[in-house]
Amino acid sequence: PHAGPVESRNEAAMSELVPEPRQKPVVPMKPVGINASLLGYIGIDTIIEQMRKKTMKTGFDFNIMVVGQSGLGKSTLVNTLFKSQVSRKSSGWNREEKIPKTVEIKAIGHVIEEGGVKMKLTVIDTPGFGDQINNENCWEPIEKYINEQYEKFLKEEVNIARKKRIPDTRVHCCLYFISPTGHSLRPLDLEFMKHLSKVVNIIPVIAKADTMTLEEKTEFKQRVRKELEVNGIEFYPQKEFDEDLEDKTENDKIRQESMPFAVVGSDKEYQVNGKRVLGRKTPWGIIEVENLNHCEFALLRDFVIRTHLQDLKEVTHNIHYETYRAKRLNDNGGLPPMAVETEENHESNL
């Protein structure tokens, strides 16, 4: 017997309710290890060489700031690091040179070339820091300078017609010089690092380490590490920015053993066993700057230049600058700074 019209209507209604069986999603095939000998050489590995050529053409920026009381050998140490007169060096003491009344900030730029690699190095000096009777808030001009460089970069970045390569004046690294007292950090040291560790990569350095015996040096280093930890001061390399296990292992060793680097700087050469070495002459022998048995200068140099220079730049860009940028755009209601304010308004806001 034929189905009546009512039944066929019911069937139609049912078929509307029952969803059509969905097609199963296509499972992507697992990548199969390609037999290179079968297909021959592709040339993916040349990408590294291509990147090297490009960066060689443009060169690198590296901006290093030195902070500490006068007389701790800051200029000498930076000159030793880069093996050239890159930091101001007073040619002997003269009477006219008074201690600056406030913290001044002097940036000196140089181009250093080695093996075809060009580096535009800027050394930012802070004469007058910690030299007054009252050193209250003497880190403020330094913090202001660091933030001004972030602001300058941000302004260039949010321009409609922006430069292909924005000049980078941001401070990538701040060497903070601790006086070799052998006791503990001064309140000024703690205050400076507490404020500045949030905006810049701080590397603590014990200056003129040849004034301490080996035992004093080891004890002082442990004490400084403990005090920084107790006060919650994060120095570079910060724990939370270790990218993988290899980074963590390498950086833990630096954090727990090397920091703060106890260093001696010198730009004078001496003959030792027929070899020319950078050193300091004392009545009982020559302290060789690059000899690890004498001081940790070589460790500091390898750390700042040979292993972590690129990372210092990346942490500055991805962490410190990003933090500044996010805050700045938030304060502005998410608008780029220049859409809201003129240059004069901005100056009064700072």
Task: State yes or no: pLDDT of 80 exceeds 50.
Answer: yes
Which region among 93-102, 165-174, 266-275 has the lowest average model confidence (pLDDT)? 93-102
Q: Is 348 inside any structural domain?
A: no
As a whole-number percent, the residues of the chain with pLDDT over 90 amount to 35
Sequence-distant (6+) residues with CB within 8 A of 279 are: 266, 268, 269, 270, 272, 286, 287, 288, 289
- Comparing 106 with 2, the larger pLDDT belongs to 106
* Domain CATH code at residue 327: 3.40.50.300
pLDDT value for 21: 61
Q: pLDDT tens digit string along 291-334?
A: 888 889 999 999 999 999 999 999 999 999 999 999 998 887 76
CA atoms within 13 Å, Cβ hemisphere of 305:
15
Listed as own residue / partner, the contacts of 8-15 with beta carbons closer than 8 Å and 24 or more positions apart are none
Sequence-distant (6+) residues with CB within 8 A of 191 are: 139
Q: Is 343 inside any structural domain?
A: no
Query: How many C-beta atoms lie closer than 10 Å to residue 228's C-beta?
Result: 23
Please state the rounded mean pLDDT for residues 140-166: 91
Q: Are 87 and 125 in contact (CB under 8 A)?
A: yes
Number of domains in the chain: 1
Report the relative pairing of strands 117-125 and 202-206 from DSSP bridges: unpaired
Q: Is 34 inside any structural domain?
A: no
Q: Are 122 and 87 in contact (CB under 8 A)?
A: no
- Comparing 239 with 312, the larger pLDDT belongs to 312
Q: Are 154 and 324 in contact (CB under 8 A)?
A: yes
Q: Is 280 inside any structural domain?
A: no
Q: Is 207 inside any structural domain?
A: yes
Return d(Cα 298, Cα 81) in angstroms, integer.
Answer: 9
Task: State yes or no: pLDDT of 222 exceeds 50.
Answer: yes
Q: pTM of this prediction?
A: 0.80
Q: Is 188 inside any structural domain?
A: yes
Task: State yes or no: pLDDT of 290 exceeds 90.
Answer: no
Q: What is the mean pLDDT of the chain?
A: 83
Q: Is 47 inside any structural domain?
A: no
Q: Is 37 inside any structural domain?
A: no
Task: State yes or no: pLDDT of 38 exceeds 80.
Answer: no
Task: State yes or no: pLDDT of 192 exceeds 50.
Answer: yes
Listed as own residue / partner, the contacts of 184-187 with beta carbons closer than 8 Å and 24 or more positions apart are 184/223, 184/224, 184/227, 185/224, 185/227, 185/228
Strand stretches in 53-211, DSSP E? 60-67, 106-114, 117-125, 173-178, 202-206
- What DSSP letter does each residue of 107-141 carry, written as one string? EEEEEEEETTEEEEEEEEE-TTTT-SS--TTTTHH
Residue-number span of the structural domain to which 235 is assigned: 62-83+102-264+292-332
